[in-house]
Amino acid sequence: MKILVTGGAGFIGSALIRYIIGRTNVSVVNLDKLTYAGNLESLDDVCDNERYAFEHVDICDRAELDRVFLEHQPDAVMHLAAESHVDRSIDGPAAFIETNIIGTYTLLEAARLYWQEMNDSQKAAFRFHHISTDEVYGDLEGPEDLFTESTPYAPSSPYSASKASSDHLVRAWQRTYGLPVLITNCSNNYGPYHFPEKLIPLIILNALEGRPLPVYGKGDQIRDWLYVEDHARALYKVITEGQVGETYNIGGHNEKQNIEVVQILCSLLDELRPVAGNTYASHLTTYKDLITHVQDRPGHDLRYAIDASKIQRELGWTPEESFETGIRKTVEWYLANTGWIEHIKTGAYQGWLERNYSHRPANP
């Protein structure tokens, strides 16, 4: 089997590729535009594997997509390429419309043309798996409410609206053209190799540098946290065992207020990298002294929580990591991988293509 993974240099995409290459016999073609959040250094462990290939392609480039399908002949597509940061979508929504909506449309059309040219057995086996977010559902009202696969869409930000749009496109391409699709909607991911604009890596790195730890409003927003390697396992389950046309919600069963997450991170850092031994924080009593409440962002949803009983019942998937075990592994990884972090901070990771390929001769 060969899978075309779009956005494979991103946080979740790279975790998925590491899982597939490391734990299965499946081949992967990683197609990524390499925006600021695309980091091929996150795939250093697999980049030389004979079952891995990389294509530096924008999903909005139809001609290049057609070439990739023709050359690599994938048996399935796992579509993760997306702009994904809510704050960035508020400041500049255009990129989210372009990538998440136009890009998904362009990829669907390229996949449809490729699929239509297959023989009957190949067509029956082909899958288009669209990876989405729980943010398309908006926020929950009651403290016991959960998002299910049938929860109506009510997106609140340009980001979630663009992802909701892409979900609708994928379903329409199945209903209209018969393209065999699957959709998953996941809760907040965390773990190693996370670009430090998101809450958990931002807090870890700011704390280590003695910088303020910004918390929106009171920090009472509730999220369900999913360890990224658990998510990768779930995604592979869906692409290999899921039923065509179905949607599966993937959650971590770990609801936490944002302020609670920040406090847990501070406590772990107090244990693993005490302020007394940190030049940047030696004037502090605890990293919690750096917590700073800032003005909330517009349209901030209060609570997300996923009912993941369907994927457990039908595919046998449950998360292996609790928040306590996963967050400790995450903090320990950031403390142990200062080189990766330094490359992110300096932008050096963006020179990966030249470093990796400039010394390699072209194939004869």
Percent of the chain with pLDDT over 70: 95
Active site residues: 134-135, 159
Q: Specify the pLDDT at position 351.
A: 65
- Asked if 39 and 192 touch (Cβ cutoff 8 Å), the reply is no
Per the domain annotation, does 61 fall within a domain? yes
Q: What's the CA gap between 212 and 147, in Å, rounded? A: 33
**Residue at 212 is within a domain:** yes
Q: What is the pLDDT of residue 349?
A: 63
The pTM for the full model equals 0.92
Q: What is the mean pLDDT of residues 292-298?
A: 86
Q: What CATH number does the domain containing 342 carry? A: 3.40.50.720
**Is it the case that residue 358 has pLDDT exceeding 60?**
no
Alpha helices in the chain (DSSP H): 11-23, 62-72, 86-91, 94-96, 104-116, 120-125, 158-177, 199-208, 228-241, 258-272, 309-315, 323-336, 338-346, 352-357
Is 30 domain-assigned? Answer: yes
Bridge partners (DSSP) of residue 141 are: none
How many domains does the chain contain in total?
1
pLDDT of residue 142 exceeding 80: no
Q: With cut-offs at 50, 70 and 90, classify the pLDDT of residue 321.
A: very high
The overall average pLDDT reported for the chain is 92
pLDDT over 50 (residue 218): yes
Q: What are the φ/ψ torsions at residue 358 (nearest 5 degrees)?
A: -65, -30
The whole-number pLDDT of residue 239 equals 98
Residue pair 14/43 in contact (Cβ under 8 Å)? The answer is yes
Average pLDDT over residues 136-162: 91
The pLDDT of residue 361: 47
Mean pLDDT of the region 49-58: 97
Q: What pLDDT was estimated at residue 354? A: 59
Tell me, yes or no, whether 360 lies in a domain. Answer: no
Q: Please give the angle made by the CA atoms of 233, 310 and 242, to the nearest 5 degrees.
A: 55
In a domain, 350, yes or no: yes
If pLDDT is split at 50, 70 and 90, which confidence band does 360 have?
A: very low
In a domain, 359, yes or no: no
Tens-digit pLDDT profile for residues 84-123: 878 888 889 999 999 999 999 999 999 999 999 999 999 9
The structure tokens listed for 230 are: 């658990």
Range of the domain at 343: 2-354
pLDDT-derived band at 231 (thresholds 50, 70, 90) equals very high
Contacts 24+ apart (CB under 8 A), 175-178: 177/112
Residue 357 binned pLDDT confidence (cut-offs 50, 70, 90): very low
Position 275 pLDDT exceeds 90: yes
- Percent of the chain with pLDDT strictly greater than 90: 79
User: Residue 21 to residues 38, 52, 158, 199: CA-CA distances in angstroms?
Assistant: 19, 7, 34, 28
Give the per-residue pLDDT at 212: 92
Confidence of residue 302 (pLDDT cuts 50, 70, 90): confident
DSSP states of 178-219 as a string?
Answer: ---EEEEEE-EEE-TT--TTSHHHHHHHHHHTT--EEEETTS
In this structure, is residue 363 part of a structural domain?
no
Report if residue 364 sits inside a domain. no
At residue 364, does pLDDT exceed 50? no
What is the average pLDDT across 217-232?
A: 94
Higher-pLDDT residue of 301, 115: 115
Segment of 29-43, 83-97, 116-130 carrying the highest mean pLDDT: 116-130
Alpha carbon 94 to its chain centroid, in Å, reads 20
